């Protein structure tokens, strides 16, 4: 991942945040901590903007786990969990946007790591496909401004990675921020992922792989 391209992406994201009333930080339900972007949150706070965390891909995680993560994250920010694909929790997302928006109509920016599902959420808010979606990280090329409803304007942004992580390809592959098919050597991230699984849930690893 190019440091230069990420620096440009951060500049573009900042300009979007400056024009936003409410920021949706999208994270992956399978790895909420690692896909939470603290640098992004710090920037939002410095700009004095309201932030809400959206745990996406909720269909991939047990409900009791999702509720625990929501309780944990709500210590810092309002949090909802959704599956934009299956429309789980999407009505709650609309309700909370209205609840936490400082004013209506509201300009909402959708931010986060590459490939956490930002464009899929925008597609739901609009009600039809507008922002192109792809399972390949980095698909969103630039900002896309969408009038989702009379009271709601949504701005998509390119995925951004903290500068200190740009050169750690193994970590970014695990987070889904880099397409693994582009790696010369996938062994390093594979080993790192195995070690992480074994440290958190060795029983599940042994049951699956023996």
Query: What pLDDT sits at residue 139?
Result: 36
State the Cα angle at 15 between 51 and 25, rounded to 5°: 25
Query: What pLDDT sits at residue 94?
Result: 93
| Sheet strands side by side (includes 50-56) | 79-81, 50-56, 22-28, 106-111, 152-156, 144-149
How far CA 115 is from CA of 26, 32, 59, 140, in Å, comes to 10, 13, 16, 9
pTM for the full predicted model: 0.77
Query: What pLDDT sits at residue 141?
Result: 41
- The fraction of the chain above a pLDDT of 90, given in percent, is 38
Query: What pLDDT sits at residue 93?
Result: 94
Residue 67 binned pLDDT confidence (cut-offs 50, 70, 90):
very high
Residue-wise pLDDT for 128-167, tens only, equals 645 444 343 443 445 678 888 889 999 887 777 655 555 5
Burial letters 166-200, b for 16+ CB under 10 A, else e = bebbbbbbbbbbbbeeebeeeeebeeeeeeeeeee
Query: What pLDDT sits at residue 11?
Result: 86
Query: What pLDDT sits at residue 177?
Result: 66
Query: What pLDDT sits at residue 166?
Result: 54
Residue-wise pLDDT for 158-205, tens only, equals 777 655 555 566 666 666 666 767 777 777 666 666 676 677 667 766
Map out the domains of the chain with their CATH numbers. Answer: 3-163 (3.40.50.300), 165-209 (no CATH)
């Amino acid at each position: 991942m190019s440091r230069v391209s990420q620096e440009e992406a951060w500049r573009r994201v900042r300009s979007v945040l400056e024009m936003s009333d409410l920021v949706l930080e999208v994270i992956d339900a399978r790895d909420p901590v690692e896909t939470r972007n603290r640098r992004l949150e710090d920037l939002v706070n410095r700009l004095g903007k309201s932030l809400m965390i959206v745990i996406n891909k909720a269909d991939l995680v047990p409900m009791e786990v999702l509720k625990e993560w929501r309780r944990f994250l709500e210590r810092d920010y309002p949090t909802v969990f959704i599956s934009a694909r299956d429309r789980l929790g999407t009505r709650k997302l609309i309700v909370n946007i209205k609840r936490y928006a400082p004013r209506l109509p509201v300009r909402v920016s959708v931010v986060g790591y590459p490939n956490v599902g930002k464009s899929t959420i925008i597609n739901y808010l609009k009600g039809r496909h507008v922002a192109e979606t792809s399972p390949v990280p980095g698909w969103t090329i630039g900002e896309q401004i969408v009038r989702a409803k009379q009271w709601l304007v949504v701005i998509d942004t390119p995925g951004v990675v903290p500068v200190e992580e740009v050169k750690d390809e193994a970590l970014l592959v695990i987070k889904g921020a880099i397409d693994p098919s582009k790696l010369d050597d996938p062994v390093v991230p594979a080993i790192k992922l195995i070690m992480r699984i074994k440290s958190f849930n060795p029983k599940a690893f042994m049951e699956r792989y023996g």
